[in-house]
Amino acid sequence: MRTIIIANGEPPTGDDLQTWLRDGDTLICADGGARAALAYGLLPERVIGDFDSLTDAELDRLAQRGVLLERHPINKDETDLELALLHSASTGSDEIVVLGALGGRLDQTVANVMLLAMPQLTGHKVVIASGAEQTYILRPGTPCELTGHVGDVISLIPFGGDITGINTEGLAYPLHDEPLFFGPARGVSNVLLGERATISFTSGLLLCVQATGQSNNL
């Protein structure tokens, strides 16, 4: 089961939707993400949030078209996207793609990326996608295989602590049973040499940002 979530950051482009939204996917929106869905003529199965980003007219339009509106209190501990992710994981989605999660307020953007590390998402493939970039979490243990195109920029960023025992194959700047420390930017702007690369490590959480067709010079 595959779920597409549209969040309330910078709206996805038509190309984003064409790339990621497939027949049979479940589409849900986090609050104001529903506005982007309506703009593209899409009807989500469900909209989740406190609805402070949608007008009464937009909510009526959604309700009249049979969209399930899951309203939460404004004074809550979770963001709307967090609630949408938790719902998707609880309903058995093995793959979750989040569009519209970046841009706008920096605090919201950072918080949205950090949601990828929630324990409830372990065992689910969760990707934040925006244009040519995909962002996801790698966890220790079983080697992770990345797929893409020659020249894709791969940035490996320690997430919340140091990474130990990292090994990579298929990247221009290999790592051999080495650490990546939380803070320094050593893992940024590596390059995919073929269509696949393998990454393994023994402890920590690793944020992977994969960009197609972008320069690796920063």
Residues 94 and 141 in one domain: no
Kindly tell me the burial class for residue 101, based on how many C-beta atoms sit within 10 Å of its own C-beta (0-12, 13-18, 19 or more): buried
Q: Answer whether residue 216 is part of any domain.
A: no
Task: Say what the pLDDT of residue 218 is.
Answer: 46
Cα 2-4-6 angle, rounded to 5 deg? 170
Residue 18: partners with Cβ closer than 8 Å, 6 or more residues away:
none
Q: Answer whether residue 36 is part of any domain.
A: yes
Residues 95 and 159 in one domain: no
Kindly tell me the burial class for residue 50, based on how many C-beta atoms sit within 10 Å of its own C-beta (0-12, 13-18, 19 or more): middle
Q: Which residue has the higher pLDDT, 160 or 90?
A: 90
Structural domain span for residue 206: 137-211
Closest CA to 16 of 128, 85, 84, 99: 99
Residues 50 and 153 in one domain: no
Mean pLDDT over residues 5-19, rounded? 95
For the chain, the domain total comes to: 2
pLDDT digits (tens, 9 = 90+) for 169-204: 999 999 999 999 999 999 999 999 999 999 999 999
Residues 106 and 17 in one domain: yes
Residues 75 and 168 in one domain: no
Alpha-carbon span 166 to 156, nearest angstrom: 10
Q: Give the residue from 71, 99, 131 where a domain finishes.
A: 131
Mean pLDDT of all residues in the chain?
94
Closest CA to 110 of 26, 207, 38: 207
Q: Answer whether residue 112 is part of any domain.
A: yes
Residues 169 and 119 in one domain: no
Cα 176 versus chain centre, distance: 28
- Measured in residues, the chain has a length of 218
Residues 52 and 146 in one domain: no
pLDDT digits (tens, 9 = 90+) for 13-69: 999 999 999 999 999 999 999 999 999 999 999 999 999 999 999 999 999 999 999
Residues 106 and 148 in one domain: no
What percentage of the chain has pLDDT greater than the value 90? 93
Closest CA to 154 of 109, 186, 201, 116: 186
Closest CA to 192 of 166, 211, 179: 211
